[in-house]
Structure 1
Amino acid sequence: MAAHRKPRQRPRTGSAARTAATLAFAGAATAAALPGSAHAAPQPTPAQVKAKVDRLYHDAEVATEQYNGAKEKATAAARSLDALRDEAARRADRLNESRRALGSLAAAEYRSGGLDPAVQLLLSSDPDQYLQRASYVERAADRQAAEVDKVRRQVAEIAQLRAEAKEQLATLTARRADLEKHRTAVRTGLAEAQQLLDTLSPAERTAYDRSDTARGAGRADRGAPRLGAVQAPNARAAEAISFAFEALGKPYVWGATGPSSYDCSGLTQAAWRSAGVSLPRTTYTQINAGQRISRSELAPGDLVFFYSGVSHVGLYIGDGEMIHAPRPGAPVRVAPIDEMPFAGATRVA
């Protein structure tokens, strides 16, 4: 009897091999798509969310100060452009008056200039009267020449003003573009931070808010500082500190300068404005608005700045504490100056 042997299988080559590989890949992909067949990306821990949210808030504050600076420059450029346009309009009115005066002189000269002066003298019945009139005509000619020069100067001045206005318009357009860029950066950062916070459970969000409020633990043990306990070095500093205490609890809003909400530099600017001192708008200009002092020299009323880019500012009230507008969601409050990396201090008055 003949033995039955299993047919020997040939290795797949060419298109058959490619087809088999494709089917195998598809099967693996389908398996990966099935529930439980693949591991989802791990959810960030509350600590990781907090660290990233803090970074996003800091980046947003940097962009906020850049926005404040761009807004200040755009406002100044707009005022300058308006002034140039107003001056050009006034000069145009004066030019029109000069042109009318020059036209009157030219018409008078045309009416009296029909004959050669020598012929007019020969035909005149009263040579003395003619010579008197001739002196008037000569003075009128001098006046006409002066009016011509005046018109020429005015035309050149108006052309210069219009050229300056054109340059200022280009500057304003660039400032507004910067403004929109920084505005977008702030909004994007804050929106991303909010999305991260929304991933927290209610209990985790409560814990986050408590940890944020309790930064620099130890202040609560000493009790919240009171306005009467702050020993200001002078009347102006006392007024600025009093204003800051009145602002406690008001919300942080980026770009705000009061009276119902503030950002960090908006608060310090408003506080010192109440004391009769004008501060520039941004943290990186406020730090140069007075006498730079060391940390050991701090006195109530001084401005304290934080981070290497000088992106945050508070009003020092003594005992290692300040009043500041921290960030969105955290109202104006008292906080230790140790809660952020110290960058410098300035004494305004």
Structure 2
Amino acid sequence: MAAHRKPKKRSLSGSTARTAATLALASAATATAFEGTAHADPRLTPSEVKAKVDELYREAEVATEKYNGAKEKADRAETALDGLRDEAARKADRLNTARQDLGSLAAAQYRKGAIDPSMQLVLSSDPDTYLDRAARADRVGHRQAAEIAGVRRQVRSLDQLRTEATDTLKDLESRQAELRKHKKTVTGKLGEARRLLARLTEEERARVTGGARTGSPGAAAEGARASRAAARGTAPDGVKAPDSRAGAAVSYAYNALGSPYVWGATGPNAFDCSGLTQAAYRAAGVSLPRTTYAQIDTGRRVSRADLQPGDLVFFYPGISHVGLYVGDGKMIHAPNPSAPVRIAPVDEMPFAGATRIA
């Protein structure tokens, strides 16, 4: 009977050992990955969400102001391009008319044929009439030469105009590409902020965003109070505005309380931050630039200690946010997409400067 022996354990060596080791490491890595996935996205506290969302909103607002600036330039380029095209069309019509006139004159001369002037004088039955006609023909010749020169000038002018239109079109296309880039940045930041806020309960979201909602009764009451104050020529908090235009701007801002924040909007039903201040002063008969970094250079700079109702107040080192001062240390501003136009203390954000619209 054959002896039964347990087979010897074969040791792993060479490629077999390396394969086993690779599988073991892969297995460990997979386990670690699954374990890490469970902890890679821990639930953030409301305060952590608020900090992240605030940062995203600031970054989106920087991109929004860049978008606003690029749009303003794109709009100007588009208007200029339309003007150049219209002017080129008018000049082309005039040029075609001038060319047709010259063509008709040349055809008439061809039909008459060319006769030596001395022979025409000899053959003429009335030399005085001939000489008079010759003088008129000479003047016509001079006029024809002038018309030819004019056509040449029109051709050069039209060519120059078309070159300018081509350059303007290139500028417009560049601005539009810039717009798309900034829009993508804004929508990305706002989308990320919305996803973070969606993780919170309704109560937590209210705490994070300040709890103010569009069309709240408080906003309507503030707006009504602003209208009454405007009739008295004062800011709604009883602080005298420095002039009627500042008072009108403040009154407009109060009436805008509760309006939603929409990036790129300038009213009358929605605003971003610089859109609100621009609309407020537009209602007062004053034209402001579109962006925060342009608005701060409008009017006269004032210190924080000298603020008066109607002054524009700016925040953050990059001058990315603006509000309208209404007195008593407060401003009205369009904060971000999670909060409507509302009253806030000036010191809730890093103060960067102020300007008074003269």
Q: Distance in 2 between matches of 1:93 and 1:147?
A: 15
Shift in CA distance, 31/325, structure 1 to aligned 2, threshold 3 Å: closer
Deviation (angstroms), 1:233: 1.1
Q: Deviations over 1:265-297 (max 9, x none)?
A: 111011111111110111111111111122122
Alignment of 1:247-266 (within 5 A): 247-266=256-275
Helix, strand or coil at the partner of 1:168: helix
Partner residue, 1:46: 46
Q: Is residue 2:338 matched to residue 1:329?
A: yes
Cα pair distance change 1:331/1:31, threshold 3 Å: closer
Report how far residue 204 of structure 1 moved: 2.9
Residue 271 (structure 1) aligned to one of 263, 268, 280:
280
Structure 1 residue 23, shift from structure 2 partner: 4.4
The aligned residue for residue 187 of structure 1 is 187
Q: Does 1:309 align with 2:308?
A: no
Seen in structure 2, the aligned counterparts of structure 1 residues 26 and 303 have a Cα distance that, compared at 3 Å, is closer
2:286 aligned counterpart, secondary structure: coil
The runs of 5 or more residues in structure 1 that have no matched partner are 214-222
Cα 1:116–1:313, aligned 2, differ >3 Å: closer, same or farther? same
How many percent identity over aligned positions? 62
Cα pair 1:322 1:334 within 8 Å, conserved: yes
Cross-structure match for 1:62: 62
Cα distance in 2 between the residues matched to 1:91 and 1:161: 9
Displacement of 1:10 in angstroms is 7.4
Is the CA contact (8 Å cut-off) linking 2:67 and 2:179 kept in structure 1? Answer: yes
The alpha carbon displacement at 1:37 in A equals 9.7
Within 5 Å, which residues of 2 pair with 1:1-349?
12-25=12-25, 27-29=27-29, 32=32, 40-41=39-40, 42-210=42-210, 227=236, 229-349=238-358
Alpha-carbon distance in structure 2 between the residues aligned to 1:25 and 1:103: 90
Contact 1:324–1:332, Cα closer than 8 Å, also in 2: yes
**What whole-Å deviation, never above 9, does each CA across 1:208-264 have from its counterpart, x for those lacking one?**
234x76xxxxxxxxx999615131111111111111110111111111111111111
**Deviation string for 1:281-314 (max 9, x for gaps)?**
1111111111112212211111011111111000
> Separation in 1 of the partners of 2:30 and 2:141?
101
Distance in 1, Cα, partners of 2:137 & 2:109? 8
* Whole-Å separation in 2 of the counterparts to 1:242 and 1:125: 90
Count, aligned residues = 334
Q: Distance in 1 between matches of 2:118 and 2:301?
A: 82
TM-score normalised by length of structure 2: 0.86
Give the whole-Å Cα distance in 1 for the aligned partners of 2:51 and 2:248: 37
Aligned equivalents of 2:19 and 2:68: distance in 1?
A: 63
What CA distance in whole angstroms lies between the structure 2 residues aligned with 1:99 and 1:244? 59
CA contact 2:209–2:338 (8 Å) conserved in 1: no
- How many Å apart are 1:9 and its aligned residue? 6.6
Task: Give how far 1:133 is off.
Answer: 1.4
- Partners of 2:303 and 2:33 lie apart in 1 by 61
CA distance in 2, matches of 1:56, 1:327: 10
Q: Residues 310 and 6 (structure 1 numbering): CA distance in 2 closer, same or farther, change over 3 Å?
A: same
Amino acid at match of 2:289: P
1:158-199 Cα deviation digits (max 9, x unpaired): 111111111111111111111111111111000001111112
**3-state SS in 2 of match to 1:40:** helix
Give the CA deviation at 1:340: 0.6
| Residues 1:171 and 1:115: Cα distance change in structure 2 (over 3 Å) | same
Q: Provide the rounded CA distance (Å) in 2 between the counterparts of 1:316 and 1:304.
A: 6
- Residue 292 of structure 2 aligns with an amino acid whose one-letter code is T
Q: 1:122 to 1:60 in 2, by over 3 A?
A: same
TM-score of the superposition, structure 1-length normalised? 0.88
Gaps in structure 2 of 5+ consecutive residues: 213-221, 227-235
Structure 1, 87-96 or 226-235: larger mean CA deviation: 226-235
